[in-house]
Amino acid sequence: MDEMQQALFDAPPPPKLPVYVPEEFPFFHGAQSMSETGFIASDWVSTLSTVDKNLRELAIELAARSTQGEVILPEPKVMFRALTLPLAKVKVLIIGQDPYPTPGHANGLAFAANKNVRPLPRSLNNIYTELHTDLGITPAPHPDLSAWQDQGVLLLNQVLTVAAGHAAAHQKIGWSPVLEAILTAINDRATPPVSILWGNHAQKHSALLSNTPQIRTAHPSPLSASRGFFGSKPFSETNRLLSLQGQEPINWSLPLS
């Protein structure tokens, strides 16, 4: 056996990629089951029950793609993480596009990533830069935004899944009715939250959020941040609008460790 053959023999096997069946996606079983198993807050059930058929079809489609070798992100158990925040407690809505397509990054919250991800996603880095300019808050060294969610910030992507390495790959597979149901429920609240709509993709949903105070600026991505995102002061403006509603402002600072 020559050295090349020995090297091939000693090489570790490639990592085993997850292959899903429809039942492994919590939403395959419907909104009521998602609530009972802790994947969404209970007051989202009436909203998502109206799209149970769509959710089931999405689970079947994602499973088929997985069987064909597509790596689906994020993992199923966190796809609806944003809706673990109860509808009744939503004070601010921030709409993203779709999850990060890099394995290990997406965690179910728009613009956020798993805490150990480095370097920071570029859009989030720009968000932190504007946060510092706006409120003087020291940027966190990590991309974990769960402290915002804990205070009532709904970090919602328009599309809740993506193919690894292919941004926007799932924009046309059937998530639109689910998003529309969620936004309609938010808009119909007695005290609608403040909506932060960064970029054209988010702003195309402004009509569904007609009852909410809206902040509309350029997207924080490196391609557009300098064309109206930087200097827009969305965080202080959000807190001003919350105060006008008689609500407590958001503490936008994040743990530094």
What interhelical angle do 122-135 and 234-244 show, nearest 10?
A: 60
Domain span at residue 159 reads: 81-244
Q: Which of 2, 10, 43, 98 is catalytic?
A: 98
Domain presence at residue 145: yes
Domain presence at residue 2: no
CA distance 23 to 37: 14
Domain presence at residue 64: no
pLDDT in tens, the chain (257 residues): 444 445 445 556 666 779 999 999 999 999 999 999 999 999 999 999 999 999 999 999 999 999 999 999 999 999 999 999 999 999 999 999 999 999 999 999 999 999 999 999 999 999 999 999 999 999 999 999 999 999 999 999 999 999 999 999 999 999 999 999 999 999 999 999 999 999 999 999 999 999 999 999 999 999 999 999 999 999 999 999 999 999 999 999 999 98
The pLDDT, as a whole number, for residue 16 is 76
State the DSSP H helix or E strand holding residue 163, giving kind and residue range, or none if neither.
strand 162-163
| CATH code of residue 193 | 3.40.470.10
Counting the structural domains of the chain, the total is 1
Domain presence at residue 252: no
Inter-residue contact 35 to 41 (CB < 8 Å) = yes
The pLDDT, as a whole number, for residue 17 is 79
CA distance 105 to 126: 17
Domain presence at residue 178: yes
* Tokens encoding 126: 């720009």
* Tokens encoding 214: 């809206």
For the chain, how far is it from start to end, CA to CA, in angstroms?
51
Domain presence at residue 70: no
Domain presence at residue 66: no
The answer to whether 98 is a known catalytic residue is: yes
Q: Phi then psi for 153, rounded to 5 degrees?
A: -95, 115
Counting every residue written for the chain, the total comes to 257
E-state strands within 50-122: 72-73, 92-96
User: Which ranges in the chain belong to alpha helices (H)?
Assistant: 3-10, 31-36, 45-49, 52-67, 122-135, 146-150, 176-187, 200-203, 234-244
Inter-residue contact 137 to 251 (CB < 8 Å) = no
Find the angle CA(24)-CA(29)-CA(31) to the nearest 5 degrees. 120
Inter-residue contact 217 to 198 (CB < 8 Å) = yes
Domain presence at residue 75: no
